[in-house]
Chains A and B, each alone.
Chain A
Amino acid sequence: MQELDMDARYIPSGNIVARVIEGELILVPLVSGIGDIDDELFSVNETGKVIWDRLDGKASLAQIVQLLADQYSVSLGEMEQDVRGFVGELLKRKMIVDARASPASS
């Protein structure tokens, strides 16, 4: 599993279109100025959507884990594993960026 800094705060990349459509979160990466839903279309399940909604640069991954573990009465270890896996996948696909490195962050 990819090593993640749990104190880092992440925000959606500027090259991603995220829309909740018919109750489902759809992600379309913009590659070379093209939103290609024939080849590059992602959907996120309900649990992933809960995590995605919290990737707003305000909370660190550790805080998100704590928050969701409390909210869903899940152990911290289990929640951290889920968040690490999901966020790692998003980072690998460049769908999110470190808020500290983003010029848009304050």
Chain B
Amino acid sequence: MPEPPLLRHKRYDADEIALSSAALLELLMAVHEKGADFRFRATGTSMYPTIRDGDIITVSPLGGIKPGVYEVVAFRHPGNGKLVVHRVLALSPDSFVAGGDNSQSDGTIPCSHLLGVVTKVERNGSPLFWPDKRRYPFLAKVYFQTGYWYITVRKRGYGMVLKLFRKRSGETIP
């Protein structure tokens, strides 16, 4: 044999185990097949400020319950096949519109691409308030709707302040 058998643990050999998005997607599907939740580290800023780069998120299988509008879901992007965690912006019987809180809409996604729903977010070792729709449907609805509108208003507010600042400083506004 070329080398002795070795079992490497990510915590101690982190540099040696790097998972691609495709690998992450495959593992998520395999874990969900067993009915278990999938916990992993989020990367990117498309869901900022709701989910930040480096937050630990838990994606649970749908379990026959369709996610609601403004809930945060995991799905396989129909364009690039990558695992994406974004918010449901609109829902129809067989498709949904998704988008990041800090990015543009992903367009219409077939419901068959849905993988699960985010049920827990941890930041700096502590869980954030994140009601699980399966346990607290009403609370989850209010929380996600309010959160979405807060982010939208904040983004628009920043945009207006920026425009005003540019106008006052004589910059041309595109």
A38 to B4 Cα, complex, angstroms: 26
Q: A8 — which chain B residues lie within 8 A by C-beta?
A: none
Whether, in the assembled complex, B10 has its beta carbon less than 8 Å from a beta carbon of chain A, the answer is: yes
Does residue A36 face the partner (Cβ distance < 8 Å to B)? Answer: yes
Size category of the B interface is: 20 to 34
Decide yes or no whether A6 CB sits under 8 A from chain B. no
Contact in complex: B27, A22 (CB < 8 Å): no
Question: How many interface residues does A have (CB within 8 Å)?
Answer: 37
Interface members, chain B 63-100 (any A CB < 8 Å): none
> Which listed residue (B6, B30, B39, B58) contacts A45, Cβ 8 A?
B6
Bound-state Cα–Cα, A94 to B56, Å: 25
Known contacts A37-B10, A39-B11, A30 near B34 by CB under 8 Å: yes
A-B contact count (CB 8 A): 114
- Majority DSSP secondary structure for residues of A touching B: mixed
Option from B2, B9, B11, B27 in Cβ contact (under 8 Å) with A21: B27
Is B126 engaged at the interface, CB distance under 8 Å to the other chain?
no
Cβ A26 vs Cβ B1 within 8 A: no
- When each residue 12-38 of chain B gets 1 if its CB lies under 8 Å from chain A and 0 otherwise, what string results? 010011011011101100110011111
Chain A residues whose CB sits within 8 angstroms of the CB of B10 once the complex forms = 37-43
A46 CB–B CB distance under 8 Å: yes
B7 interface residue per 8 A CB criterion: yes
Q: In the complex, what residue of chain A is closest to B41 when comparing beta carbons?
A: A38
Given the known inter-chain contacts A21-B23, A21-B26, A22-B20, please indicate yes or no for A37 contacting B40, CB distance below 8 A.
yes
Which residues of A lie under 8 Å from residue B7 when comparing CB positions?
27, 42-44, 48, 86, 89-90, 93
- Residues in A whose Cβ lies below 8 Å from that of B8: 42-45
- A35 in contact with B5 given A19-B30, A30-B31 (CB within 8 Å): no
CB atoms of B23 and A72 under 8 A apart? no
Q: Are A35 and B23 in contact (CB under 8 A)?
A: no
Residue of A nearest to B35 (CB): A33
Interface residues of A (CB under 8 A from B): 17, 19, 21-22, 26-28, 30, 33-48, 50-51, 68, 72, 74, 79, 82-83, 85-86, 89-90, 93
13 new A-B contacts, CB < 8 A, other than A30-B34, A48-B7, are: A35-B39, A38-B39, A39-B39, A40-B10, A43-B13, A44-B7, A47-B1, A47-B2, A48-B6, A83-B5, A85-B4, A85-B5, A86-B5
